[in-house]
Amino acid sequence: MATTPANSRGTWNTKLGFILAAAGSAVGLGNIWRFPTVMAENGGAAFLFIYALLVFVIGYPVMVAELSIGRKTRKNPVGAFKALSSNKIFTLAGFWCVICGVAILSFYVVIAGWTISYFFEQIFYYFGMFSLAEWVSNIDNGWLNVGVALLFMGITISVILGGISQGIEKAVRTLMPMLVVIIVILIVYVMFQPGAGAGLREYLVPDFSAINMDLILAAMGQAFFSLSLGMGALITYGSYLNRKENIPEAAAYVTGFDVGIAFLAGMLIMPTIYMAQAEGLVIYDDAGSLVAGPALIFQVLPELFHEMGGIIGLIFGGTFFLLLTIAALTSSISLLEVPTSYIIDEHNVSRKKAAILVGGVISLISVFIAFDTSLIDDIDFIFSVIGLPLGGFIICIFLAYIWKTENAKLELEQGFKNLDNHWFWPVWKVFIKFICPALIALILGTTIYGIF
């Protein structure tokens, strides 16, 4: 995207630039931190199966919907809903998107802060400074959590201020492939460790009897979180998208990248969990439930790097956490961009003021989370597991019944010649009108019914 002065909208420089930016938004802590943790809580391979299914049945169609609404209106979610309908309910829905973004980012920066802490842990450990290594990796240290979270937030704000294109496009183009290469090498390494086989089995051999409503809900939440859906991040990114581009095709690339990287991360982390367990780390309690919680990967991955040992351990461990920080950054940028562009568009504030204001408020909330990390699970449940699919449901209903699929078609046809004769059109239309909203409503409905 060319740098945006206060109100005129930039666009992504190239098609690849857009795909990279959207993939950068999708690939992040969701793939490497959240996916393995939620899977370890929810029966391994059975979860993977349902997750993959929901990505294609709900995630991909909703992604196309968000991008087309964004490109049509060239607005943030609140502005986009307002532009296509005067119904106040949808303005409120737009606000819900902005609120989800704010809430998710407020814990996202804390976890991203841990990736910075662990980068330093690797270095201190290598140089034999064990007490420093221990200090910097103590994720119960509130002030330390605040420090690294604010550092991460500061970097996010400065990227948003610098205009997006060059930064994100470049970072994603070179660093994502590096992340993939490192993960693949680590997978090969871990396979030779004692205990790893059991983890791999847990990951790849499904026990379908483990499927229940909790698992399905968790898988849906993960699909939305990982693909950056349901809170208008891709409405906002779509608003910078050139009319020449083919939206369904771009969305397919982004979905493919994201799922591919999540799959690889699971292939690394599940066996690592079992390896660490074979070494005496307590991962599951006697009743079989996960004890580690949100800190899981930060407990087991360093084990792996220390196991590798020496300079090799440092190189892999250091680079891994550095790349993870950057992957988190390309996602946090998109989370911050939603409320920021809302303030810019709707309240006529400069980009600089808006980013600092929103970033400041989110930082404040994150301080509380940094001191009480048990809040992460609750906030994540309300805003990611329930909030994002709810947003996705509203987006489907809005597109299908307010804006209407025929109008969406006119938008999609720009960049997709012959859409009319392509199988994509009738299939997507049925999904967005019926299948996606019905499935989301069913899964959310049963859960909410179950809670009361």
The contact set with ligand PHE (CB under 6 A) reads 25-26, 28-31, 104, 225-226, 228, 231, 233, 331, 334-335
Nearer to ligand PHE, 27 or 276 (CB): 27
Shortest Cβ distance from residue 301 to ligand PHE (Å)? 17
How crowded is the C-beta side of 285, counted as CA atoms within 13 Å? 6
Query: What is the spatial distance between Cα 376 and Cα 369, in angstroms, rounded to a whole number?
Result: 7
Shortest Cβ distance from residue 204 to ligand PHE (Å)? 22
* Residues sharing a CB contact under 8 Å with residue 449, sequence separation 6 or more, in sequence order: none
Shortest Cβ distance from residue 223 to ligand PHE (Å)? 10
Nearer to ligand PHE, 22 or 133 (CB): 22
Shortest Cβ distance from residue 336 to ligand PHE (Å)? 9
**What 8-state DSSP symbol labels residue 9?**
P
Q: Are 340 and 153 in contact (CB under 8 A)?
A: no
Query: What is the spatial distance between Cα 237 and Cα 246, in angstroms, rounded to a whole number?
Result: 14
Nearer to ligand PHE, 276 or 301 (CB): 301
Nearer to ligand PHE, 27 or 148 (CB): 27
Nearer to ligand PHE, 334 or 363 (CB): 334
User: Which residue type is seen at 207?
Assistant: D
Query: What is the spatial distance between Cα 350 and Cα 346, in angstroms, rounded to a whole number?
Result: 11
Nearer to ligand PHE, 145 or 384 (CB): 384
Q: Are 29 and 331 in contact (CB under 8 A)?
A: yes
Shortest Cβ distance from residue 335 to ligand PHE (Å)? 5
How crowded is the C-beta side of 337, counted as CA atoms within 13 Å? 31
Nearest in space to 250 (alpha carbons), one of 234, 265, 264? 234
**What 8-state DSSP symbol labels residue 240?**
T
Query: What is the spatial distance between Cα 255 and Cα 223, in angstroms, rounded to a whole number?
Result: 10
Shortest Cβ distance from residue 376 to ligand PHE (Å)? 14
Shortest Cβ distance from residue 257 to ligand PHE (Å)? 11
User: Which sign does the torsion angle of CA 378, 382, 384, 385 carry?
Assistant: positive
Shortest Cβ distance from residue 333 to ligand PHE (Å)? 9
CA distances from 185 to 24, 123, 264 (A): 22, 20, 11
Nearer to ligand PHE, 35 or 316 (CB): 35
Nearer to ligand PHE, 102 or 397 (CB): 102
**What 8-state DSSP symbol labels residue 231?**
S
Could you write out the DSSP letters of every residue in 155-181? HHHHHHHT-SHHHHHHHHHHHHHHHHH
